[in-house]
Structure formats: structure tokens, C-alpha cells
């Protein structure tokens, strides 16, 4: 697959990887509406090597474009897991250098690599050399306000063959606090030739417009705003590239979307695990609707699929 083809439809709109959220059933739901591409949840290179085929299938499900995000700190392990993914059918490998979570950072992985440019670039180079498919990379602005080194890193990543960058416009020390500074990355157009996506706090079409203008990015990557709204990326794609206003689905349609997503999740993980995973999605789908908190309490107290289906049906019926 050619990375360039992702830009054929105009401005690309990517679903951001979100561990524990953007699993195969969620990405299937988003892809049914439309998105340029969706990225798998991150997976540690060690886990991939240990259980390669099963992990790959679990990560990619029925995605149309299979982008697998790998995370780790050992160049050899990262390269090996990239190769395994390629052999299993991945279209693109994405390297995680943005995750701020302590457990990951303490392992010198994710955003910790921003503090170690030499290792970061060695990982990028080793992974690029290990596969024939395109390798992309997701990062933050730097470790903290005093060490925003994304410009120098971007330049080095391009040199070793990284084909696209996604940049969450925060530092690691900001975690998810404050606001993403889209304008910070605008001078990347003068530093690198590879495309880059702007990411962080983009919630709607207006944010997309402003973020693209301020960042001069080639496309956008959106995460949290899609929770409970798997149709959002398609609305943005249509509006920005065709000028079409696509209305949000009616509540009746939202009910159908939610139920299909729920059943896909149960099929994918099995009843018990699937229900545990899906509970948060009930919260997100119902967010902003009257009586949502009572609805969530009731759902969270039940372990019975049939009763949950009835609760959901009644809740949506009451809103018609
Ligand atoms: C629950 C959750 C899980 C995440 N998991 C990942 C991940 O696996 N890999 C990654 O690169 N970023 C991960 N992120 C970061 C998002 O991809 C994204 O950069 C961040 O949420 C900012 O974008 P947004 O404001 O559009 O959500 C995660 C974010 C959240 C909220």
C-alpha cells in the first residue's frame, strides 16, 4: 500500500490510537461511516513477538487499512515485531513515541524516547530497515516545556526514512492537561518534506479548520472526540473535502449503531470480557442525554446481556 494514497481524497482524517478504546470492534464501527485510516491500539514489541499471529488478528480485526502501532525501547525487538506484523499483512507500522503513562515511560518507551534522541532515531532507523512497508511515527512536542525537541527529531526521523508523523501538540509533562498548541508545529513545513498530522483537542469541524491553519499540517488525527460518536470522522471528512454537511444520525439510528457495536464487541471478546470492555462505551454514547447518569448506574449494576439490551432499548425509546 502506498502511503501517498491516504492523501488522494484530500485532507486525511485519521482515528487516533487509544489503548483500551480503539479496538477492532470500535474501528470497524468508525470505518463503516468512513475515516481515512484507523490505527490499532499500541502493542508492546515483546507481546507481539511472544504471540504474534493472535495479537495481530486481535489488533487489526477487519480493518481495511491495517496500521499497527508498536511500542518499546529495544531497536531489535521493535524491528522484529515490525517484521512479524508485515509478514502477517500489516500495511503500515506506526511507532509510539507519545505515550505519557508512567509504566511505559519507566520502561524507556513511549514519550520517554523523546528524552533520548539517539535511541529514538536508532529505533526509527532499525524499524524502517526491517520492513518494506511504510513506517510512520507518533510523538509529542518533547518531554517538557524546556525540551521541546520535536523539530530536531522530525528532521532526523525523516532522514532515516520515517514517512509520516502524527504530533500530539503537548509535551509529556503536560500529560492531558492544558491545551494542545497547534501553532507550535507550523514551522515543520520548512524543516521536513514528509507529511504530518496535527493531533490534540480537536473536537469538531471548526477545530479542524483552525488546527490545520495554525499547524500547517497535511491532515488531522482525532481521538477522544470520537468516543460515542463513531460517525464524527466521516462528517469532518465530507465537510472538509466535499463541503457536504452530513447530519448526525437520529437517536433511532444511534441506537442501532450502539447495539451493533455492542454485539460486535461481545462476538470479538466473548460475553463476559466483551461486556466489561463495553461498559464505558454505554457512557460515551449516552453522554449529554437526559437521564444518562441513571441509565449508566442501571447498566453498571447488571451482568445480564438481555436486561442490558432492554435497558438500552427503553432508554433510547424514551428519547424519541
Ligand atoms: C484512553 C486513551 C488511550 C490512548 N492510547 C494511545 C495509544 O495506544 N497510542 C498512542 O499513540 N496514543 C494513545 N493515546 C493518545 C491519543 O492517540 C491522542 O494523541 C490524544 O488523546 C490527544 O488527541 P485527542 O485530544 O484527539 O484525544 C491515548 C489516549 C487516550 C485518551
CA–CA dist 132, 129 (Å, integer): 8
| Helix segments in the chain, DSSP class H | 24-33, 45-50, 52-60, 75-88, 102-105, 117-130, 150-159, 188-191, 205-215, 232-242, 251-269, 271-286, 292-301, 305-317
Cα-to-centroid distance, 132 and ligand 1 (Å): 27
Per-residue pLDDT 10s for the chain (320 aa) are 889 999 999 999 999 999 999 999 999 999 999 999 999 999 999 999 998 787 887 788 777 889 999 999 999 999 999 999 999 999 999 999 999 999 999 999 999 999 999 999 999 999 999 999 999 999 999 999 999 999 999 999 999 999 999 999 999 999 999 999 999 999 999 999 999 999 999 999 999 999 999 999 999 999 999 999 999 999 999 999 999 999 999 999 999 999 999 999 999 999 999 999 999 999 999 999 999 999 999 999 999 999 999 999 999 999 97
Per the structure block, which three cell numbers stand in for 97?
A: 513515541
CA–CA dist 40, 85 (Å, integer): 12
Please name the residues in contact with 72: beta carbons below 8 A apart, sequence gap of 6 or more: 44, 45, 46, 78, 81, 107, 109, 123
Cα-to-centroid distance, 313 and ligand 1 (Å): 31
Ligand 1: which of 211, 223, 281 to mutate, most ligand atoms within 8 Å of CB? Answer: 223
CA–CA dist 167, 139 (Å, integer): 5
| Helix segments in 74-202, DSSP class H | 75-88, 102-105, 117-130, 150-159, 188-191
3-state helix, strand, coil in the chain (%, to 5): 55, 15, 30
Residue 59 CB less than 6 A away from ligand 1 = no
Cα-to-centroid distance, 223 and ligand 1 (Å): 6
Query: Which atom of ligand 1 lies nearest, measured to the CA of 221?
Result: 26
SS3 call for 42: strand
**How distant, in Å, are the alpha carbons of 259, 274, 315 from that of 308?**
11, 13, 10
Per the structure block, which three cell numbers stand in for 193?
A: 518534506
Indicate which residue of 45, 77, 99, 169 is catalytic. Answer: 99
Residue 101 CB less than 6 A away from ligand 1 = no
Q: What is the largest CA-CA distance in the chain?
A: 58
Residue 55 CB less than 6 A away from ligand 1 = no
Q: Does residue 70 contact residue 90 with C-beta atoms inside 8 Å?
A: no
Residue nearest ligand 1's atom 30 by CA = 18
Note the CATH architecture for domain 3-242.
Alpha-Beta Barrel (3.20)
Residue 223 CB less than 6 A away from ligand 1 = yes
Please give the CATH topology (third level) of the domain spanning 251-317.
1.10.1200
CATH 3.20.20.70 placement within the chain:
3-242
Q: Cα 75 vs. chain centroid, distance in angstroms? A: 23
State the pTM of this model.
0.97
Residue 263 CB less than 6 A away from ligand 1 = no
Cα-to-centroid distance, 20 and ligand 1 (Å): 10
Let me know if 99 is a catalytic residue.
Answer: yes
What are residue 166's DSSP bridge partners? 138, 197
Per the structure block, which three cell numbers stand in for 130?
A: 526491517
CATH 1.10.1200 placement within the chain:
251-317
pLDDT for position 105 = 97
CA–CA dist 72, 104 (Å, integer): 8
pLDDT for position 63 = 75
Residue 69 CB less than 6 A away from ligand 1 = yes
Phi, psi of 37 (to 5 degrees): -165, 155
pLDDT for position 59 = 85
Cα-to-centroid distance, 42 and ligand 1 (Å): 10
Residue 224 CB less than 6 A away from ligand 1 = yes
Amino acid at each position: 500500500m502506498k502511503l501517498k494514497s491516504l492523501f488522494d481524497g484530500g485532507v486525511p482524517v485519521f482515528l487516533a490510537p487509544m489503548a483500551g478504546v480503539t479496538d477492532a470492534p470500535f474501528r470497524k464501527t468508525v470505518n463503516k461511516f468512513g475515516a481515512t485510516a484507523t490505527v490499532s491500539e499500541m502493542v508492546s514489541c515483546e507481546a507481539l513477538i511472544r504471540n504474534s499471529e493472535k495479537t495481530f488478528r486481535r489488533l487489526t480485526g477487519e480493518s481495511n487499512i491495517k496500521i499497527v502501532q508498536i511500542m518499546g525501547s529495544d531497536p531489535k525487538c521493535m524491528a522484529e515485531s515490525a517484521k512479524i506484523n508485515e509478514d502477517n499483512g500489516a500495511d503500515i507500522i506506526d511507532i509510539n513515541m507519545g505515550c505519557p503513562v508512567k509504566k511505559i515511560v519507566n520502561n524507556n518507551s513511549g514519550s520517554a524516547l523523546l528524552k533520548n534522541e539517539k535511541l529514538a532515531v536508532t529505533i526509527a532507523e532499525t524499524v524502517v530497515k526491517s520492513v518494506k512497508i511504510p513506517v510512520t511515527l507518533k510523538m509529542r512536542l518533547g518531554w517538557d516545556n524546556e525540551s521541546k525537541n520535536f523539530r530536531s527529531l522530525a528532521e532526523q526521523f525523516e532522514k532515516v526514512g520515517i514517512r509520516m508523523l502524527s504530533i500530539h501538540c503537548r509535551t509529556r509533562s503536560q500529560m492531558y492537561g492544558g491545551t494542545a498548541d497547534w501553532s507550535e508545529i507550523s514551522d515543520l513545513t520548512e524543516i521536513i518534506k514528509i507529511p504530518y498530522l496535527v493531533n490534540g483537542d480537536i473536537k469538531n469541524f471548526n477545530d479542524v479548520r483552525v488546527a490545520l491553519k495554525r499547524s500547517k499540517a497535511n491532515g488531522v488525527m482525532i481521538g477522544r472526540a470520537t468516543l460515542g460518536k463513531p460517525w464524527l470522522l466521516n462528517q469532518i471528512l465530507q465537510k472538509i473535502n466535499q463541503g457536504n454537511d452530513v447530519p448526525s444520525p437520529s437517536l433511532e439510528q444511534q441506537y442501532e449503531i450502539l447495539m451493533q457495536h455492542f454485539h460486535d464487541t461481545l462476538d470479538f471478546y466473548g460475553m463476559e470480557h466483551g461486556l466489561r470492555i463495553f461498559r464505558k462505551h454505554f457512557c460515551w454514547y449516552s453522554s449529554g442525554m437526559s437521564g444518562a447518569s441513571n441509565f449508566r448506574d442501571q447498566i453498571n449494576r447488571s451482568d445480564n446481556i438481555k436486561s442490558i439490551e432492554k435497558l438500552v432499548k427503553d432508554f433510547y425509546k424514551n428519547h424519541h
